[in-house]
Amino acid sequence: MERREFIKGLGVAAVTAGVLAFEAPAVWAKGEKVMWRMVTSWTPGMPILQTGAERFAKRVAQLTEGRLTIQVFAGGELVPPMGVFDAVSQGTVQCGHSAAYYWAGKSIAAQWFTTIPFGLNAQGINAWFYNGNGLKLWEEVYAPFNLVPRPAGNTGVQMGGWFNKEIKTIDDFKGLKMRMPGLGGKVIAKAGAAVTLLPAGEIYTSLEKGVLDATEWVGPCHDMRMGFQKVAKFYYAPGWHEPGSALELIINKKAYEELSSDLKAAVDAAAAELNITMLSEFEKENAAALAQLKKEGKVQFRTFSKEILTKLKALSDEVIKEQIEKDPIAQKVHKDFTEFKNLLNPWAAISEKEYYEGI
């Protein structure tokens, strides 16, 4: 509005001067400045996740020379952390940064777009998104909610969790009081664990007091910030339940469609950039935190045996079967996901696996 009036007010002399007569139509074509608000599921200042969302907003402003600016709100600042989906879906805000598996209550199929137990790793799920049907299916699943999804980060392989009891056989899960949300929680419940879903703020004290025997969280970087190394003895690998959790940018469909094609391209490009820079940051910060934990020497590292993992995989298959039986869309997504994984597996076995086993 202001800009149009400014140009109108310039008068004939300025326009006929040449430069403005050439530039003005471009200004009109690109339209007014657009201001968006973004909500996230992360705590204020949370490294990698919240800082990544803020980096995305800065990048969009830079790529569009300020024509699209995004004000970022952490979880609880505008809407609760688990209110992101509804806020963007209803158009209260234009976009959000979160994880699709939080929305299993809205759509069972959403979980496949973050991770499933024994699913794809980060590079596998990115290949599914960009070079398979992953993103197309994700768009299809989110369309009824007025949402446009974009992959926007990945944690990489998570850790298996913190335990105050050793897990030597699958039977050691019996009666184990563990915090583990989502499909992973359903799997260990089948193995006999007493699964609880405590909020983040209560996990530390519960482990300390013995109300919990175990918890999973993310990886060394975020786990150390929670202080779990002070209250748990054993740190288990691998995070079989989250082998590469993808994060999401969700955009209100109407807000996205109202953007000019160049602004849309800037949003998509910044999301793809965040997808790679966030994964890179997770890799580096987890490695640094692991080195720190080892240097402190207080935590005992353990890995789940092959036998335990095989049994957890069998229980995961049961859990997934139960999930997809409830929802034909989840069934369709799982079928495509599985076909893609089966395509990748033999390649991963002679490339990555052989390489890692040799070093």
Q: In whole angstroms, how close is the CB of 120 to Ca ion at the nearest point?
A: 16
Q: Shortest gap between Cβ of 155 and Ca ion (angstroms)?
A: 7
Q: Which of residues 125-184 bind Ca ion (CB under 5 A)?
A: 158
Site string for Ca ion, 236-255 (x = CB under 5 A): ------x-------------
Q: Which is nearer to Ca ion, 97 or 253 (CB)?
A: 97
Query: Per-residue x/- marks for Ca ion, 289-308, CB under 5 A?
Result: --------------------
**Nearest distance, CB of residue 102 and Ca ion, angstroms:** 12
Applying CB under 5 A, the span of 44-52, 69-77, 234-242, 334-342 interacting with Ca ion comes to 234-242
What is the smallest separation between the CB atom of 179 and Ca ion, expressed in angstroms? 10
**Interface map 263-292 toward Ca ion (x if CB under 5 A):** ------------------------------
To Ca ion, the closest distance from the beta carbon of 159 in angstroms equals: 8
The two tokens of residue 122 are 């980060």
CB of 245 to Ca ion, least distance (A): 7
Minimum distance from CB of 333 to Ca ion (Å)?
Answer: 21
State the Cα–Cα distance between residues 222 and 217, nearest whole angstrom.
8
**292 to 56, 217, 228, 296, 298: CA distances (angstroms):** 29, 18, 14, 6, 11
SS (H, E, C) the chain: CHHHHHHHHCHHHHHHCCHHHHHHHHHHHHCCCEEEEEEECCCCCCCCHHHHHHHHHHHHHHHCCCCEEEEEECCCCCCCHHHHHHHHHCCCCCEEEECHHHHCCCCHHHHHHCCCCCCCCHHHHHHHHHHCCHHHHHHHHHHHHCEEEEEEEECCCCCCEEECCCCCCHHHHCCCEEECCHHHHHHHHHCCCEEECCCHHHHHHHHHHCCCCEECCCCHHHHHHHCHHHCCCEEEECCCCCCCCEEEEEEEHHHHHCCCHHHHHHHHHHHHHHHHHHHHHHHHHHHHHHHHHHHHCCCEEEECCHHHHHHHHHHHHHHHHHHHHCCHHHHHHHHHHHHHHHHHHHHHHHHHHHHHHHC
Q: Which is nearer to Ca ion, 158 or 252 (CB)?
A: 158
Question: Residue 248 has which token pair?
Answer: 């999401």
Nearer to Ca ion, 145 or 304 (CB): 304
**Number of residues in contact with Ca ion, rule: CB under 5 A?**
2
The CB-of-217 to Ca ion minimum distance in angstroms stands at: 6
| Cβ proximity to Ca ion, 203 vs 333, nearer residue | 203
Where on the chain is the footprint of Ca ion (CB under 5 A)? 158, 242
